[in-house]
Every structure is written in structure tokens, then in C-alpha cells.
Structure 1
Amino acid sequence: MNVIGEPATLERAPGRSGGDLVLRRAGDDFEIISNGVFLMDTRNGESERLLVRAAVAALGPGGPPARVLIGGLGVGFSLAEAVALPGVAAVTVVEIEPAVIGWHATHLRRFSGGALDDPRVLLANADLLDHLRDGGGGSDGGGYDAICLDIDNGPHWTVTPGNARLYGPAGLDLLAARLTGRGVLAVWSAGAAPAFETLLRERFGRVETRPVPVPRGEPDIVYLARP
């Protein structure tokens, strides 16, 4: 029997990244826990939506329809924002965990708004690094106009040690290679990551930081980087 106010475990599944992946319910909201570490919940989503909205807005008006890559399906806020934006032609979502994908057919469907059924959306059940190395660059290999990363709690707080490679020099080179000439890289972080920002500024010509206030603690940060 659960104590009043204590999150209730709804489902538990083995995670491809190691350990257990747990979906919990807390009142009207849901939480995803990976190997005992809190990943995300459905309480707000403002910064996850900003991640995509700011990246697409940075492309500027008048260009061709945007092709967007979202690294991490999560609870679906980023994907829901992408399909709602005018001028987005195609969205590729890369999610490593089959359980997370499955929860969007049930508990989490209302948060992604059923966006996985949108004909513009391509879902890849894969590791993001593998997807990028295998030449993932849109349906015709022409690259992405916006790459939006939300697969960790931040560059300095990764779900697995292996994900740290994505935020280092080689990972940033790989991400940059998958961008179109006008492309934008957007990275979500639960708090400032100064060392990562330094790497971004060494690799990209223009870097912006967008703080997003949260109810408790330091603001979330969205990093925007352009060649």
C-alpha cells in the first residue's frame, strides 16, 4: 500500500542502457526513473518545448521547410512542440528505450499528443550515437536543419557514462556534420554546464544560452549553437 503522496510504480522494464527503467505516477503526473536516477517528469515541459521552438526559430523566416532531429523521446514535450510548429516538414525521433516508446501508446500518449502517429514523424529505436554514425541525416541523407538533444539531465549529468562522448569534441564534430548549412544544434541541460559551453564556443561560430526558470533550484539551460 502506498503512502499518500508517494509515487506509485506503474511499470518496470529492463533498460537497454543498463539497470531498470521505471514509470511512476505521482498524482496527475508521471515520472521516469533510470537505474534509480530521476530522468524526467510531466509536471512542466517549458524548457523541453523551448529547446525545439528556439532551434526552429533560429533558422529564420523564408527558408525551406525544416527537418528536425530530436534525440530522446522522453515524455513527449519536445516532439509535441515540433509537430505543432509551422514550417516543420519532417521530424526524426531517436529513442534508445523500447519501454519509453511503448508508454506513449498508453500512459504518456496525452503528453506527446499522439504525435508518433503524425506522417511527418519517423521513429528510430536506436542509440543516438549509432544513428548519427550510421549516416542518419534525414530521409535522403541531406542533413538536419535542427538537432535537438534531450537524452540526459545535461552534458555534465549523463544517463550512462557512454553518453558523455556525445558532448565531447568528437561528438560535437559528428553532430555538426549532420547539420545543413543553416543548421542549429540545441542542447537541453538541467543547469549550467560551463565546460560544455566552452567546447561549443570552440567548435561553433555562434552560441547562445537560454535560461528557463524552474519552480525549485537553478534554471534549466538551452544551448543553441550554429556554424
Structure 2
Amino acid sequence: MPNPTTPPTSAAPTGPAAEEQPVTVERREGPFGEVVLRRRGPHFEIIANGCFLMDTSDGRSERLLVRAALDELGAENTKDAENPKDTKDATAGPRLLIGGLGVGFSLAEAADEPRWGRISVVEREPAILDWHRSGPLSTLSGRALADPRTELVEADLVAYVHGSAAAGRRFDAMCLDIDNGPDWTVTDDNATLYSPAGLAACRAALAPGGVLAVWSAQPSPTFEGCLRNAGFCRVRTDEIRVARGVPDVVHFGVRPA
């Protein structure tokens, strides 16, 4: 997890909620260290190895990550899947990979949109999966998990992306939110995802015209160049204003058709 000088994945809670004392709901030792679920007032927080990762107080940027990826795909790629739930195949439509389940905002956004087809969520922490399947976070994600398009995959995202590329498994959009950003990774091995080899694997795991969207706690001045060097086009960075501090951002790149 981040070292003491590494900024957290998301800013710690502020305002009235921050004044409430957190209550530990569950503490679990996982494959990558300690993971803690806390409740602070009406909101839940996830803490990993003592580092605040995310909470349920504001999911605007996580939702935008998925919403903007669909917009980037364009209407011509989704017009045949306006109401996939009304067809025999509920997974018809663009295939979405969400990297990191977190508190479930990105999954909830995807499940609320009928144009998505298969929604695959890759999460490596068993505790987080359990908290969503049958624990306290199930009240937030239960409807999305019950959606026939949703599948949860317990795996390391970096390995999963490389495996998908090698196996010919393709997605129309990949929305990745597992780190503070390309420059601040939660674990050292995650850095390989943003390396030339990692971005090449992301590109290979996308269908032609597919969209890569990467969440970051602040802009990465060099990442746009990395995306272009990896063969992505229509590269851009969108800012999402936050209560205080630098904006969250989403980096976008498209695999040429």
C-alpha cells in the first residue's frame, strides 16, 4: 500500500462527517495487508494498511468515469443495446471492465445504464467482495450485483488485463480505478499497469474503437503522452472539481478502429 509520503487514493472526509468518530465495522488481514471497513456517521470508509482509500460520501468522479466512457464510445456503438434487459440476452451491448470495486459507485453507475452489456468488475481484495456480497456494503450495491449483466472477478487487475490480452478476451470500455493515479500507485507492482507494456496490454484487451478511462486523484502531466505512445488516439483529460484541493481527473484514450 502507499508509503507514508504517498497521497491517499481519495481525500480524507471533510465537513460535518469528518467530525464524527469512526467506528470499525470489520478488520481483515488480506493478501495485500490489512483492510478495514469503518462507519463514520451515515457513511462507510475503506482503509488499507492505515491509508484512507475511499468512502461513500461523494461518488461523482467514480460515476463520471463510467458515464464518460460510454459517451466516448458514441451512439453508433450503443444504439443496438438501448434496452438489453428487454431482450433474451441481458448482456447484449458494449462490454465493460471495471477495475476496482471500491465502495461500488462505478458499478452502480454502470448497472443504472441499460445500454451496457456485460459488466465485469475485477477486485483483488476478498474482504471488499464479501462486504458487497453479504456485508454492510450490500445495501449500496445489492441491486447492481443482482443485475444479470454483472459479474465479480476476484483477481489482480494487472494480471487480469495481461491475461485478457493474451486470451483474446476483448472489452469495449475499461474503467480503471485501483490507484491514486498513474503516478501514485497503491502497491509497487501496480505501476506496471501504466508502463509501456501495461498500456499495450490494455490496448490489446480493448476491441477496436474501445475506450480506456483511468481515474486519478490529480492530473498526471506525462500520462497523456504515455497513452499516445502506446497507440491510443483521442487522448484527453477531464477534471472533476472536489470540495477542496486539486481536482480529480479521468484520463481517456481510444484504441483506433
TM-score band, normalised by shorter chain: over 0.9
**Partner residue of 1:174?**
201
TM-score normalized with structure 2 length: 0.82
1:67 aligns with 2:95: yes
**Partner residue of 1:108?**
137
Q: Aligned AA for 2:131?
A: W
Equivalent position to 2:156, from 127, 136, 143: 127
Shift of residue 106 of structure 1?
Answer: 2.2
Distance of 2:241 and 2:197 partners within structure 1? 31
Equivalent position to 1:99, from 113, 117, 127: 127
Pair 1:195–1:62, CA change in 2 (3 A): closer
1:7 aligns with 2:22: yes
Distance of 2:97 and 2:218 partners within structure 1? 23
1:88 aligns with 2:116: yes
Is the helix fraction higher in 1 or 2?
Answer: 2
Q: Aligned AA for 1:14?
A: E
Shift of residue 136 of structure 1?
Answer: 6.5
Shift of residue 155 of structure 1?
Answer: 1.4
Deviation readout 1:38-67 (Å, 9 max, x if unpaired): 111111000000000000111111325210
CA contact (8 A) 2:237 2:249 kept: yes
Q: Aligned AA for 2:188?
A: P
Pair 1:23–1:136, CA change in 2 (3 A): farther
Shift of residue 202 of structure 1?
Answer: 2.1
Deviation readout 1:90-135 (Å, 9 max, x if unpaired): 1111000010011112211233243122111111100012212222
**Partner residue of 1:55?**
69
Distance of 1:6 and 1:165 partners within structure 2? 37
**Partner residue of 2:104?**
76
Deviation readout 1:6-30 (Å, 9 max, x if unpaired): 211111111222x200111111111
Q: Aligned AA for 2:153?
A: A
Shift of residue 142 of structure 1?
Answer: 4.7
**Partner residue of 1:158?**
185
CA contact (8 A) 2:182 2:220 kept: yes
Across the two proteins, how many residue pairs are aligned to each other? 221
Cα-Cα RMSD: 1.7
**Partner residue of 1:198?**
225
CA contact (8 A) 1:135 1:141 kept: yes
Distance of 1:45 and 1:201 partners within structure 2? 28
CA contact (8 A) 1:66 1:87 kept: yes
Shift of residue 179 of structure 1?
Answer: 0.3
CA contact (8 A) 1:15 1:34 kept: no
Comparing 213-222 with 57-66, greater Cα deviation is found at 57-66
Q: Which runs of 5+ in 1 are unaligned?
A: none
